[in-house]
Structure 1
Amino acid sequence: MQFSIAIMTSCALYNTRTHLCRHLEVVIVSAVRTPMGSFRGSLSTVPATKLGSIAIKGAIEKAGIPVEEVKEVYMGNVLQAGEGQAPARQALLGAGESCITQINKHNNMHLLFRNLLCNFSKKSVCDLCYLPHVGLPLCTPATTINKVCASGMKSIMMAAQSLMCGHQDVMVAGGMESMSQVPYVMAREAPPYGGVKMEDLIVKDGLTDVYNKFHMGSCAENTAKNSGISREEQDAFAINSYSRSKAAWESGVLAKEVVPVSIPQKGKPDIVVKEDEEYRKVDFSKVPKLKAVFQKENGTVTAANASTLNDGAAALVLMTTDAAKRLNITPLAKIVAFADAAVAPIDFPIAPAFAVPKVLKAAGVKKEDIAMWEINEAFSVVVLANIKMLDIDPNKVNINGGAVSLGHPIGMSGARIVGHMVHNLKSGQYGLAGICNGGGGASAVLIQKY
């Protein structure tokens, strides 16, 4: 009884102490991602949680910090059906047979008791919680974030909030998705005459406007019409995206942010994937000949000028400047400001144009001060419409290509574009990333290179 009272008292003091917001400066010390595989392509056998594990491990290794320094993990993940409980927690622990065996070996009341105590101790991690074979300490909390396409970016924003308030001092944030492994489902009801209807959860949970009962591509068509953006403009943008991505890979620009994925083979050497798959799969001569997908008559959105279904993960290590000094780490960039915005669900493609001004105002920065823009290419028309509404220089937007050519694993993309800016800005420059999400939302993050 006395032990229970002591624990509850400690909890109350802990919550009171750590939720007092002091607005500490937050920096990014590493940012990595896996390659992005095509739908049913090179990474299709790798679960989202495993891709997340690879990204988390890579980010921590790049940061050069002990794993026990990471106090919490947030990972975006949209299409969670069939992945099992708590996908971010699985990614943190490096889910797999060897991981489960190791955990079970230590899973007894003594460990649980020690875990409970270590959460309130002054030590960074309990000795028994740290299992090197698994990766991060077992007592490290993890949370899965779902804000549709903005999930990865929202994870970064929420981690930054926690760090700014002094609730934690070192965190990992990112996103992961395996669209290749998303299951089909049927309703749990008595089978009707004529058989059951299977639904594709990629479409139902990821790509359908639940308010208007149509595909996100129909929203893109609506934006193209309202913004006066032609099929030819969208096709030209897509071709430019593919060209920029190809040039970025050939010059080594994209390789520096990628950690390879090793896929075990039965009786054969592992297959190592270390390059994006999608950007090589294009025939420019066919782009203007493709039929519109979502609006048969006078439609403008095609398979070529829209993003694709993909697999991948990204992760960043964030910490306070005090933690960076304590760990003797030179930051790559600092998080200056971030914001969300919302519009009518059908207008989700233009939502970033409402989030970006909020960020600029909060930071006291002008749009002319932004050296690099990343606007997620859910569809070519998304970027074209936001460039028009924000009146920004298109030559500063998605300079190394984007989701149309590289791919769009929806839980990952928001984290990917922030990480990409981290690697490509020059010292002192500002970079602003914006991403729309289903339901009429958007998120945006402003960073400054150290």
Structure 2
Amino acid sequence: FEREITPVTLPNGTIVSTDDGPRDGTTVEGLSNLKPAFRPDGEITAGNACPLNDGAAAVMVMSDTKAKQLGITPLARIVASGVSGLNPEIMGLGPIEAIRQTLARAKMSINDIDLVEINEAFAAQVIPSAKHLNIPMDKLNVHGGAIALGHPFGMTGARIMATLINGLQHEDKTFGLESMCVGGGQGMAMIIERLS
């Protein structure tokens, strides 16, 4: 993940070049002993939900004309995007319709997509999304999702995009799809084509 992180030098000279995740020392036994987070009889624990991380990001989006004027080689281009709305009580399933919409706008199928990044607010949300959309598991969050890497509120979309582009470059693939749910009852998705 070195290509996704810009080191920051603190006033005392310490260089910060890693984040808090993945959680060191995590074991299956430790995960199985975690208490439910929301309801006494619930299934969601700190082990199958993403940790809240901090972070900052900057993303540059411009037309191909402007990129040529500035002499910039784009990393990727936006092929299509989509937004969906649904009942906030099932907000975790927002990616399903947003991805369907985005694939239709791009005139593509999930088989045309090389890598998929879905923000893992909870494992219970990503698994049904993948099943409903027939996303092969070997294409999904191949470098780990938010449960492993963290969920830096405010920059999660940028983090997912950086991870997706990095994955496409590393695997020498072309088309990537990113998606996330939104707490108020939305889903968002975008397909990109790697250019460099």
- Which interval holds the TM-score relative to the shorter structure? over 0.9
Residue 292 of structure 1: which of 36, 59, 63 is its match? 36
Partner of 1:401: 144
Alpha-carbon distance in 1 for matches of 2:175, 2:99? 13
| Conserved 8 A contact 2:20-2:53 | no
Which structure has the larger Rg over C-alpha atoms?
1
SS in 2 for 1:408: coil
CA deviations over 1:291-313 (Å, ceiling 9, x no partner) = 2121212x211111101121101
Partner of 2:11: 264
SS in 1 for 2:103: helix
How far 1:277 moved relative to its partner?
1.6
SS in 2 for 1:338: strand
Residue 448 of structure 1: which of 189, 193, 196 is its match? 193
| Conserved 8 A contact 1:316-1:419 | no
Scaled by the length of structure 1, the TM-score of the pair is 0.41
Alpha-carbon distance in 1 for matches of 2:155, 2:69? 30
Alignment of 1:379 with 2:122, yes or no, is yes
CA deviations over 1:385-433 (Å, ceiling 9, x no partner) = 1111111101110000121111111111111111221222146611000
How far 1:348 moved relative to its partner?
0.2
Alpha-carbon distance in 1 for matches of 2:30, 2:85? 36
Partner of 1:324: 67
Alpha-carbon distance in 1 for matches of 2:78, 2:132? 25
Q: CA RMSD in A?
A: 1.4
The 5 Å alignment of 1:226-375 reads: 254-265=1-12, 270-284=13-27, 285-297=29-41, 299-375=42-118
Alpha-carbon distance in 2 for matches of 1:300, 1:362? 36
Gaps of 5+ in 2: none
Scaled by the length of structure 2, the TM-score of the pair is 0.92
CA deviations over 1:237-266 (Å, ceiling 9, x no partner) = xxxxxxxxxxxxxxxxx111110122213x
SS in 1 for 2:37: coil
| Conserved 8 A contact 1:348-1:439 | yes
The 5 Å alignment of 1:97-116 reads: none
Gaps of 5+ in 1: 1-253
Alpha-carbon distance in 2 for matches of 1:434, 1:419? 13
SS in 1 for 2:22: helix
The 5 Å alignment of 1:34-433 reads: 254-265=1-12, 270-284=13-27, 285-297=29-41, 299-426=42-169, 429-433=174-178
318-327 vs 280-289, greater mean Cα deviation: 280-289
Give the letter for the 1:374 counterpart.
E
Runs of at least 4 residues off by over 6 Å: none
Alpha-carbon distance in 2 for matches of 1:422, 1:448? 9
